[in-house]
Amino acid sequence: MKTVQTKAKIISNKKIKENYWHLEFESAIIAKNALPGQFVNIRVGHGFVPLLRRPISIYAVKGVKVKLFYQAVGTGTQSLSQRKSGELLDLIGPLGNGFDYRQAVKAKDARSILIAGGMGVAPLFFLAEKIKTSQPLVLIGAKTQKQILCMQEFKKLGCTVKLATDDGSLGFKGKVTDLLKLVLGQTKGLGLFSCGPRPMLKRVSEISCENKIPAQLSLEEHLACGTGACLGCVVATKSGYKRVCKDGPVFSSKELTW
Amino acid sequence: MVSQIKPNLSIKIGNLDLKNPVMVASGTFGYAEEFKDFMDLKKLGAIVTKTITLKGRHGNLPPRTCETPAGMLNSIGLENPGMDKFIQEKLPFLKKLAIPIIVSIAAEESPDEFVTLIKQLDKLAEVSAIELNISCPNLQKDKLISQDAGDTFKLVSAVRQLTQKCLITKLSPNVNSIVDIASAAQNAGSNAVALINTLGGMSIDVNKRVPKLGSWVGGLSGPAIRPVAVKMVWETYNKIKIPIIGMGGIMDIESALEFFIAGATAISIGTANFINPRVSLEIICGLKQYMVDNNIQNLSNLIGRLKACKE
């Protein structure tokens, strides 16, 4: 795998709803090498404000174009949302260890289940694209209907999509992990792939253990370097601290200690 | 036609010859392999490794970093594999680069650990110099060695006898008088002083009312601390004779030049590596250009050449 620091041309940077944005840039080398679960580390502003790069998951790749899906919530992502098409974006990528989906592609009698919470849909959509022929089952959770993301996009790939909202405004009423338990009662799960808030991932990990199905979890963490040098983004594992940016962001649930 | 000068960037620190004065600071560049995809590492003046302790360390509780205005806090806590594993697993890659390798070392409990560490490093030809990190703020100590001139003198004197290799003492800015500490290091036989390590700092999440770092407090780095570092380099330059390796928030050629003019013989790039892995090489190019533009043949004609303010 080749990682590069490059200045990539922004093709488009559009608000799709509320504070959710799609940014597409052109980079043949990143497009060629990117794997689901990997990210790019972006110098979002001009100069040194904000100071550090911001890591954003790769959402989709088409030809030489790479698409990101992000929520403009903090100073970094808000700066990113101000960037215009035609500008050059200083980015490093693809970075990190992505999902291992070799088994998922071959699945016949059992299905891969993707569990997304909030912005966790982004890396899972890229994964779904890669394993769509195996017809994965996608569970998307959010607090309320308005925060359910990417439902149509997953359906267009041919995935079966099930929804969960805390307030019951759409789909199953309750946590997406409760929906997962329900689903596993009816469907044979081959492997779980998940990205979302830490408490949700912890629950997915427990369910994976109870049902003896392997789970791969993509963690989110503040990064300083993004290249494995500073040891700032570590997470506790059974074999000591590991770097989210380099050893992850995808970890086997068996590795993590909570 | 005006003939263009060929600037000479080489410098000497003790018995260590560097082809250029730009190195990467300990803890911000891992063991260099992490940056091999982004740059030609051989072009660096020197590489200072992540600080190594005798036994491996797990480091501090996460979260370990947070961004602050024009800077960042860290409390990594010297996570490292320990000296034996460093020599086996990390040093071979560094050796292949065939540029000066400066190994940074620290003690966890007793200063005696420095003795053992230096004896190990002294035998290794691929180790060009040793940096004594007596200023890490993330070890939960009440007082650092570099916060006391007497302790600094004692430590440097003790290890000086053990090796002919170039010794660099890294100092903390969290002191009353950096000059006193730098003088103590010099008098004890240190070949250079490196300043500054991070400034003590803290940041609070007001919604949760918790510290943003797992170990509550950490060290501040980045452009926010640059004026503090430049002043300390300037103050120290006027009082000591050994070379100063200046660092603290160098982000580009302009900020690098501040340090040379203030009196640094060499500089280290730290936090900026995270933002632009190639920044050190860009600074080397910028330095050459500045010397050409200002008709400076040798770097020694730039170091400490601060002029008085004009009326």
Q: Chain B: nearest CA to A84, how far in angstroms?
A: 21
Report the DSSP pairing between strands B266-269 and B22-24: parallel
Cα–Cα distance, B192 to B219 (Å, whole number) = 23
Q: What percent of chain A has pLDDT over 70?
A: 98
Those residues with Cβ within 8 angstroms of residue A50's Cβ, 6 or more apart along the chain or in another chain: A44, A75, A76, A79, B67
Q: Which residue has the tokens 């392999």?
A: B33
Q: What is the pLDDT of residues A188-207, one digit of tens each?
A: 888 999 999 999 999 999 99
Catalytically active residues of B, by annotation = 136
- Contact across the interface for B30 and A52, Cβ inside 8 Å: no
Model confidence at B135, pLDDT cuts 50, 70, 90, reads very high
Beta bridge partners of A90: A7
Q: What is the pLDDT of residues A204-248, one digit of tens each?
A: 999 999 999 999 999 999 999 999 999 999 999 999 999 999 999
**A14: buried, middle or exposed (CB in 10 Å: 19+, 13-18, 0-12)?**
exposed
pLDDT at A1: 66
Q: What is the pLDDT of residues B160-189, one digit of tens each?
A: 999 999 999 999 999 999 999 999 999 999
Model confidence at B2, pLDDT cuts 50, 70, 90, reads low
Is the pLDDT score of B1 beyond 60? no
Residues of A in contact with B276 (CB under 8 A): 5, 43, 90
Is the pLDDT score of A95 beyond 90? yes
- Contact across the interface for B67 and A222, Cβ inside 8 Å: yes
Is the pLDDT score of B72 beyond 90? yes
Q: What percent of chain B has pLDDT over 70?
A: 99
Report the DSSP pairing between strands A172-173 and B166-170: unpaired
Model confidence at B80, pLDDT cuts 50, 70, 90, reads very high
Among A229-243, B62-76, B135-149, B213-227, the least confident range = B135-149
Q: Select B11-301's CATH number: 3.30.465.10, 3.60.15.10, 3.40.50.720, 3.20.20.70.
A: 3.20.20.70
- Contact across the interface for A49 and B70, Cβ inside 8 Å: yes
Q: Chain B: nearest CA to A51, how far in angstroms?
A: 6
- Contact across the interface for B278 and A5, Cβ inside 8 Å: yes
DSSP SS3 for B157: helix
pLDDT at A189: 85
Q: Chain A: nearest CA to B239, how far in angstroms?
A: 34
Residues of A in contact with B94 (CB under 8 A): none
- 10 Å Cβ neighbour count for B251? 22
* Residue A236 · residue A256 · CB < 8 Å: yes
**Phi and psi at residue A75, to the nearest 5°:** -60, -35
Is the pLDDT score of A159 beyond 90? yes
Nearest to A230 among B66, B76, B276 (CB): B76
Is the pLDDT score of A120 beyond 80? yes
Is the pLDDT score of A104 beyond 60? yes
- Contact across the interface for B37 and A228, Cβ inside 8 Å: no
Which of these, B56, B64, B65, B109, lies nearest to B83 by C-alpha position? B56
- Residue in chain B closest to A224 (alpha carbons) equals B274
Q: Measured between CB atoms, does B63 come within 8 Å of chain A? A: yes
Give which of A230, A233, A234, A239 to mutate to test B binding, by max B Cβ within 10 Å: A230
- B178-187 helix and B226-237 helix, angle to the nearest 10 degrees: 50
Is the pLDDT score of A89 beyond 60? yes
Q: What is the pLDDT of residues B248-262, one digit of tens each?
A: 999 999 999 999 999
* Average pLDDT over every residue of A32-36: 97
Cα–Cα distance, A56 to A76 (Å, whole number) = 11
Is the pLDDT score of B132 beyond 60? yes
Give which of B73, B275, B282 to mutate to test A binding, by max A Cβ within 10 Å: B275
Is the pLDDT score of B238 beyond 80? yes
Model confidence at B191, pLDDT cuts 50, 70, 90, reads very high
Q: What is the pLDDT of residues B263-298, one digit of tens each?
A: 999 999 999 999 999 999 999 999 999 999 999 999
Model confidence at B216, pLDDT cuts 50, 70, 90, reads very high
Q: Between residues 173 and 202 of chain B, which touch chain A (CB distance below 8 Å)?
A: none
pLDDT at A211: 94
Q: What percent of chain A has pLDDT over 90?
A: 90
pLDDT at B221: 98
Is the pLDDT score of A105 beyond 60? yes
Average of per-residue pLDDT values in chain B: 96
Give which of A43, A51, A241, A245 to mutate to test B binding, by max B Cβ within 10 Å: A51
Residues of A in contact with B271 (CB under 8 A): 51, 224
Is the pLDDT score of B34 beyond 90? yes
More confident residue, B9 or A103: B9
Domains, chain A, in order of start with CATH, read 4-95 (2.40.30.10), 102-252 (3.40.50.80)
Nearest to A230 among B28, B62, B66 (CB): B28
Structure tokens at B77: 């806590």
Is the pLDDT score of A103 beyond 90? no
- Residue in chain B closest to A75 (alpha carbons) equals B67
Which sequence spans correspond to the domains of chain B? 11-301
Is the pLDDT score of B3 beyond 80? no
pLDDT at B311: 56
pLDDT at A74: 92
Q: What DSSP character marks residue A97?
A: B
pLDDT at A112: 94
Q: Chain A: nearest CA to B299, how far in angstroms?
A: 28
pLDDT at B40: 97
- Contact across the interface for A233 and B62, Cβ inside 8 Å: yes
CB pairs under 8 A between A and B: 97
Q: Is the preceding omega at residue A50 within 30 degrees of 0, hence cis?
A: yes
Is the pLDDT score of A174 beyond 90? yes
- Contact across the interface for B38 and A4, Cβ inside 8 Å: yes
Model confidence at A68, pLDDT cuts 50, 70, 90, reads very high
Residues of A in contact with B277 (CB under 8 A): 5, 92, 227
Q: Chain A: nearest CA to B223, how far in angstroms?
A: 9
